Amino acid sequence: MKVSDVMGTRAVAVRPEAPFTEIVEAMRRFKVGALTVIDADDHPIGMVSDDDLLLKETDSTSAGSVFDSRRRRQEHHKAAGITAREMMTSPAITVTKDTVVRDAARLMHRYRIKQLPVIEPATGRLVGTVHQSDLLKVFTRPAEEIDGEITEICNRLYVDREHLTVDVAAGVVTLTGHVGFRSQISRLAAAVHGIDGVLDVENRLAYRSDDLTPTPPLL
């Protein structure tokens, strides 16, 4: 599943010169926790989050020190800022419509952010936003869709789908039945676990032929 399948087409953005009050008003009006900061060509150059704005309250009276870490110095700078340019986190971490949902989730986790600007690859312009809540939609996929992907995986791995029973419930896939070779079991289970919307795989498969255990030579 790609970002285009779950993203929102409305992107709330501000210019670098936007003052503090305008940013707060935009967040409250559109009920979002972060805004994309865009340049004159609509290219994302940073993000301003509600955490950045709260530094005004938590850090405004704190005096900086030469012994502060880089992160603390950045927080002092943001707390003293009055425009989006001064308060934003830059550069903007972006994705495209073709980015795989799992990759977008990894970016959010790595950079500890709750949303990502979606850009048009050819122009770099902002075309939408994807939120954490959007990515969670993959875990509400219909069981029929997941079952269909499992059939495609079986075809790629030369596994006879007719010999398998697949049960999908609450994101857990239970595989029962048998395959031709022992080596196909782990590959099939791993591929099914990689399907969007699958939380876990209960592997109850048997095999007809053991192609992993060496056959002792005949004397």
pLDDT tens string, the chain, 219 residues long: the values are: 899 999 988 889 999 999 999 999 999 999 999 999 999 999 999 999 998 888 877 655 554 554 456 666 666 567 777 899 999 999 999 999 999 998 999 899 899 898 999 999 999 999 999 999 998 888 888 999 999 999 999 999 999 999 999 999 988 999 999 999 999 999 999 999 999 989 899 999 999 999 998 877 766
Tokens of 171: 């994101």
At 139 the pLDDT is 84
Report field, pTM of the whole predicted structure over 0.95: no
The answer to whether domain 3-137 has CATH 2.40.40.20 is no
Residue 54 and residue 75 in contact, taking contact as beta carbons nearer than 8 Å: no
| Residue 149: strand, helix, or coil | helix
In this structure, what DSSP letter does residue 42 have? S
Same fold, 3-137 and 141-209: no
Residue 122 and residue 97 in contact, taking contact as beta carbons nearer than 8 Å: no
At 174 the pLDDT is 97
At 216 the pLDDT is 76
Domains of the chain by residue range: 3-137, 141-209
Residue 73 and residue 64 in contact, taking contact as beta carbons nearer than 8 Å: yes
Distances (CA, A) of 71 to 112, 139, 181: 14, 35, 54
The answer to whether domain 141-209 has CATH 3.30.1340.30 is yes
H-only helix segments in 70-182:
70-80, 84-87, 101-111, 132-135, 143-156
At 46 the pLDDT is 96
